[in-house]
Amino acid sequence: MDSGAQSPRPAVDSSTSDIGRRIRSLREERGISLSELARRAGVGKATLSGLENGTRNPTLETLWAVTAQLGVPLATALGPGPVIRGTAVEGVLLQVFRDEAVTYELYRLMIPVGATQTSPAHHRGVTEHITVFSGTLQAGPVGSPLLAGPGEHITWSSDVPHTYAAIGDQDVHASLLIRYPHH
């Protein structure tokens, strides 16, 4: 579901019309109707239409859901270097690495104390790898999240709904590497 009306800041510091054009192009390249993509991603048709037309600021969760159903990394829709915001996670896309079989996205993350975010499943085979620099992070599959403190690393298959939360009394600062296999 798109909870954009509840978010005090836009999910992405980037042009929503550029993001919308990229998503529409990806959808059309795959021969998927607007209604079908909205259904698959679990978002409203009006939300997706507004996103494609650049008139609606989507939540990060909506962008993840849509790009997962298109089978592409988030960076494919975003373009270069934006700050992205979810319910709890604020990230900066630092680098995208591509080779024949895999695309990697590297983010710098900040999760404030007490904040929790649940993200939709990515497409099959996607994994997330987080290294925590400060704070204590609870993240991973909903129902069985992992715990990591400063200097620790966790990884999981993110083709299932997953969560991020800052535990304790310190914001979490971390790096996130997302690995997308090409299908």
For residue range 75-122, list pLDDT tens digits in order: 888 876 677 888 889 888 888 899 999 999 999 999 999 989 999 899
Residue 96 shares a structural domain with residue 177? yes
Residue 115 shares a structural domain with residue 154? yes
CB contact at 8 A, 47 and 55: no
Residue 62 shares a structural domain with residue 108? no
> How far apart, in whole angstroms, are the C-alpha atoms of residue 156 and residue 24?
30
Residue 94 shares a structural domain with residue 74? no
> How far apart, in whole angstroms, are the C-alpha atoms of residue 181 and residue 85?
24
| Residue-range definition of the domain harbouring residue 34 | 4-82
**Residue 4 has what pLDDT?**
35
> How far apart, in whole angstroms, are the C-alpha atoms of residue 153 and residue 132?
6
**Residue 3 has what pLDDT?**
35
Residue 75 shares a structural domain with residue 114? no
Residue 25 shares a structural domain with residue 96? no
Helix, strand, or coil (residue 178) = strand
Question: What residues are paired with 134 via a beta bridge?
Answer: 173
Residue 67 shares a structural domain with residue 93? no
**Residue 146 has what pLDDT?**
98
Give the angle 34-178-109 at the CA atoms, nearest 5°.
Answer: 100
Low-confidence ranges of the chain (pLDDT < 50): 1-8
**Residue 169 has what pLDDT?**
95
CATH number for the domain spanning 26: value is 1.10.260.40
